[in-house]
């Protein structure tokens, strides 16, 4: 909602802006779910009630009163936008700005599977890609031209699969492109084309460092809001009772009253005006550095240099509270300068410069270490044989001769359970150590449900009650089609 609010303001001011946004199929499914839509409204209403309680507590306190008022104003505006304009469906907002030409929407693997580690079964990769394509096109009204590889994880051959599904471009971490053969003559300042014909855009290192680096990045500035100091841990359980986790444990409420201040635990009260002034300063610095970067490299190029700035969307508004304001300032300040930069989407660039160097990028990701060590190590390697075995079983199930309506539903639900088990988040959480037990439990739950469905299909004893229960619990991807496993043997 903070991002959509920024887009609304830019459009109202007639400020030109262009962005590319990957809307993952899992997020899209959640946006369309009526239960989650109701929960979202309930969550905001509860938070607004807590803000009202806080207004009574802090009163006219000069340090914290303005911060509480800021939250009340923002949450009220977001709620109104969410309910009235977007009918409780954030994806409607993305579609609106796609249709107005401001956003290029692309998709990602269905459940963010780490594709190189799933590729022992080509069908495992294809079901991730095809399900994503169907889901995206069904809601947004057209097929996406681009595909976000989860974690930017690429290995040669994945682009061939993307080509089969009519994707025109994807993105790689910097070294995945720079180590390509032959060497890309323009580095990351222009895309390259794989032998399959799929274009690859490499992440620009400098713009990444300015935003992401914990030491050099803008979000660490002392004026910005401190993420980890939250009301949910500052107040007593009795005061926060309705806003605790179901188990009674504290949790982040989103109401954070302090600024980064410095590297110690001592934090000063947040001042919105000072933070927004810093946003303007940092946006100006970012634009200035991009112009300097372009001037340095443009001499040896036959076209204007392209800087591909890749970030997790959660950075803007979540980890970096002022991030959406930063995006707004980038476009507003750029529009007001004589020497402007041009913001373009990948499709626009490829239409302007259709001829690009052909080369073969290398295996890479943007995870720690640059390859796959975070998703394949002693903490999580046990899941991959299980996933491969489940793919073997799914191929056998897809070959069943009899397919009645109940069989069809059970086969598609088995695919949903397999897709959920393939999510890269589980392996990530096991390695990170955060909620490891939960991640292990989720893999086992989804594979357990998969094999219960498989056994019922093989014995022709499908319980409609059991199947309906799973269809209600794991109800994402209505467009999933088990027949891909019949078309794509191992």
DSSP string, 398-461: HT-S---HHHHHHHHHHHHHHHHHT-HHHHHHHHH-TTHHHHHHHHHHHHHHHHHHHHHHHTT-
Residues 350 and 423 in one domain: no
pLDDT of residue 237: 87
233 has a pLDDT exceeding 80: yes
Residues 188 and 326 in one domain: yes
Q: In what order do the strands lie in the sheet with 192-193?
A: 169-172, 199-202, 192-193
Contact 113, 132 (CB under 8 A): no
pLDDT > 90 in the chain, percent: 90
Residues 332 and 405 in one domain: no
Residues 176 and 288 in one domain: yes
* CATH code, domain with 95: 3.20.110.10
Which of 312, 345, 373 represents a domain boundary (last residue)?
373
Residues 40 and 182 in one domain: yes
pTM for the whole structure: 0.95
Least confident of 100-104, 207-211, 223-227, 413-417: 207-211
In sequence order, the 6+-apart residues with CB closer than 8 A to the CB of 254 are 47, 230
Which tens digit of pLDDT belongs to each residue from 137-168?
Answer: 999 999 999 999 999 999 999 999 999 999 99
Residues 136 and 109 in one domain: yes
Least confident of 129-133, 154-158, 281-285, 311-315: 311-315
pLDDT of residue 248: 77
- Mean local confidence (pLDDT), 454-471: 95
Cα–Cα distance, 151 to 375 (Å, whole number)? 10
In sequence order, the 6+-apart residues with CB closer than 8 A to the CB of 189 are 204, 297, 301, 305, 306, 307
10 has a pLDDT exceeding 90: yes
Name the strand (E) or helix (H) holding 387: helix 383-398
Residues 253 and 398 in one domain: no
Closest-CA residue to 21 (of 177, 111, 148): 148
Cα–Cα distance, 383 to 387 (Å, whole number)? 6
Residues 217 and 348 in one domain: yes
387 has a pLDDT exceeding 90: yes
109 has a pLDDT exceeding 90: yes
Cα–Cα distance, 466 to 56 (Å, whole number)? 49
Residues 336 and 429 in one domain: no
Number of domains in the chain: 2
Which of 357, 373, 389 represents a domain boundary (last residue)?
373
Which of 349, 373, 397 represents a domain boundary (last residue)?
373
* CATH code, domain with 431: 1.20.1430.10
Residues 346 and 453 in one domain: no
Cα–Cα distance, 165 to 131 (Å, whole number)? 11
Residues 362 and 400 in one domain: no
pLDDT of residue 488: 67
Per the structure, the complete domain to which residue 380 belongs is given by: 374-487
Residues 303 and 386 in one domain: no
- Mean local confidence (pLDDT), 332-348: 91
């Amino acid at each position: 909602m903070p991002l959509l609010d920024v887009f609304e303001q830019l459009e109202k001011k007639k400020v030109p802006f262009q962005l590319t946004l990957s809307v993952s199929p899992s997020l899209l499914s959640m946006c369309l779910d009526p239960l989650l839509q109701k929960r979202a409204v309930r969550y905001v209403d509860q938070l607004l009630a807590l803000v009202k309680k806080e207004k009574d507590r802090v009163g006219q306190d000069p340090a914290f009163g303005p911060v509480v008022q800021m939250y009340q104003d923002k949450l009220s505006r977001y709620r109104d936008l969410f309910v009235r304009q977007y009918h409780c469906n954030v994806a409607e907002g993305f579609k609106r700005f796609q249709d107005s030409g401001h956003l290029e929407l692309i998709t990602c693997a269905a459940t963010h599977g780490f594709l190189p580690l799933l590729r022992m079964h080509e069908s495992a990769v294809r079901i991730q890609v095809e399900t994503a394509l169907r889901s995206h096109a069904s809601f947004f009204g057209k097929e996406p031209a681009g595909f976000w590889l989860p974690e930017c994880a690429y290995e040669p051959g994945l682009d061939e699969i993307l080509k089969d599904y009519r994707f025109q471009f994807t993105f790689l971490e910097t070294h995945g492109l720079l180590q390509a053969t032959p060497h890309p003559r323009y580095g990351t300042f222009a895309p390259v084309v794989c032998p399959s014909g799929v274009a690859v855009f490499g992440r620009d290192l400098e713009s990444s460092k300015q935003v992401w680096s914990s030491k050099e990045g803008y979000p660490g500035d002392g004026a910005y809001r401190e993420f980890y100091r939250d009301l949910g841990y500052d107040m007593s359980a009795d005061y926060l009772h309705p806003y605790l986790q179901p188990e009674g444990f504290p949790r982040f409420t989103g109401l954070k009253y302090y600024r980064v201040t410095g590297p110690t635990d001592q934090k000063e009260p947040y001042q919105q005006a000072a933070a927004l002034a810093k946003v303007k300063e940092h946006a100006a610095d970012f634009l200035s550095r991009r112009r300097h970067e372009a001037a340095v490299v443009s001499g040896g190029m036959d076209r204007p240099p392209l800087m591909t700035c890749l970030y997790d969307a959660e950075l803007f508004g979540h980890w970096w509270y002022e991030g959406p304001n930063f995006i707004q300032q980038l476009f507003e300040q750029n529009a007001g300068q004589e020497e402007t930069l041009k913001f373009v989407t990948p499709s626009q660039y490829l239409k302007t410069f259709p001829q690009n160097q052909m080369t073969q990028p290398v295996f890479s990701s943007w995870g720690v270490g640059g390859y796959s060590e975070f998703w394949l190590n002693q903490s999580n390697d046990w899941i991959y044989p299980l996933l491969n075995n489940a793919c073997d079983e799914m191929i056998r199930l897809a070959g069943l001769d009899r397919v009645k309506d109940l069989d069809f539903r059970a086969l598609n639900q088995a695919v949903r359970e397999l897709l959920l088990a393939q999510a890269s988040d589980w392996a990530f959480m096991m390695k990170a150590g955060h909620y490891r037990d939960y991640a292990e439990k989720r893999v086992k739950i989804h594979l357990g449900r998969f094999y219960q469905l498989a056994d019922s299909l093989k014995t022709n004893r499908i319980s409609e009650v059991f199947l309906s229960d799973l269809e209600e619990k794991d109800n994402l991807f209505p467009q999933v089609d088990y027949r891909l496993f019949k078309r794509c043997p191992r």
